[in-house]
Amino acid sequence: MSYSKQSANDDEHFRIAAKAIIALRNEKLAGIARNLQFDPGGLSGWLGGTPNRLSFEKKEILSCYLGLEYAHISTQVVHYWPTCTDDLIALMPSLLNQKMLKSISVNMITSDTIPIGCVYHSKIGESTFIALCKAQNKAFPIPIISPEETGWGNLLPPIEITRHVWNTWWSDQNTSPEEIADYLFRSSE
């Protein structure tokens, strides 16, 4: 179970994490409410800080939908974020524990030497965190952080893959973090 019974303070941590994921996914509340068959007003009210707008069961559903394990990011799923660098810098520290944040590595993903996205990854023990990122739209650059700018992360050389593989990961979204990690780091050797 990814969302356990909480106090009001714990509920606030989950609310912050949920808002961060929604921003990184560049997702609209109306779309989330429709996908989960929630009342949009209840979801919006709860995210805005009004207590008791979402039942415990709905918080559990929302937590799973957003790829959260309570107030932290789940390492059981690959995260897909069409986002911008500023959002990553501001929001990732609220989602990852300090050990994972400090050990995170970033690789630009290229296809025929043309940048198409990036991967944020970290492995601690048996937990593998993978987030595939691309620009919000064509007006934004690919969201890649600089460790000098953030104080965390490790920028590694680009990894070349085919555009087909990248597009399959984004459209299928059933690939495990371990499968993507194995593919990326086998191909970069």
Average pLDDT, the chain: 89
Task: Place 127 in a pLDDT band, splitting at 50, 70 and 90.
Answer: confident
Mean pLDDT of 160-179: 91
pLDDT band at 169 (very low <50, low <70, confident <90, very high): very high
pLDDT for residue 188 is more than 60 = no
Query: How much is the pTM?
Result: 0.89
Kindly state whether residues 31 and 109 are assigned to the same domain. no
> Is residue 3 domain-resident?
no
Q: Which domain holds residue 44?
A: 8-73
Of all residues in the chain, what percent carry a pLDDT higher than 90? 61
Residues 79/73, Cβ–Cβ less than 8 Å = yes
Domain identity same for 112 and 142: yes
Q: How high is the pLDDT of residue 1?
A: 41
CB 67 within 8 A of CB 73: yes
Residues 105 and 149 in one domain: yes
Q: How confident is the model at residue 9 (pLDDT cuts 50, 70, 90)?
A: low
Q: How does residue 80 score in pLDDT terms, banded at 50, 70 and 90?
A: very high
**pLDDT for position 6:** 54
Q: What total of structural domains would you count in the chain?
A: 2
Specify the higher pLDDT residue, 87 or 139.
Answer: 87
Average pLDDT, integer, range 34-57: 92
CA distances from 62 to 14, 55, 57, 118, 183 (A): 10, 10, 9, 26, 30
Q: Are residues 25 and 102 in the same domain?
A: no
Residues 83 and 66 in one domain: no
Residues 90 and 182 both lie in one domain: yes
Mark whether 68 and 85 lie in a shared domain.
no
Tell me whether residue 1 is in a domain: no
Percent of the chain predicted with pLDDT > 70:
94
Question: Do residue 166 and residue 103 come from a single domain?
Answer: yes
Residues 59 and 95 in one domain: no
Give me the pLDDT at residue 137, please.
83
Q: 44, 73, 102 — which closes off a domain? A: 73
Report, as an integer, the average pLDDT of 100-116: 93
Please say which residue of 32, 52, 73 terminates a domain: 73
Name the pLDDT band for 26 (thresholds 50, 70, 90). Answer: very high
Helix runs in the chain, H state only: 8-24, 29-36, 40-47, 56-66, 85-95, 98-103, 147-150, 163-172, 177-187
Q: Which of 3-17, 48-62, 66-80 has the weakest average pLDDT?
A: 3-17
Do 44 and 59 lie in a common domain? yes
Question: Are 112 and 64 in the same domain?
Answer: no
CB 46 within 8 A of CB 105: no
Question: Of the candidates 42, 57, 73, which is a domain's last residue?
Answer: 73
Task: Tell whether 68 and 88 lie within a shared domain.
Answer: no
pLDDT of 187 higher than 60: no
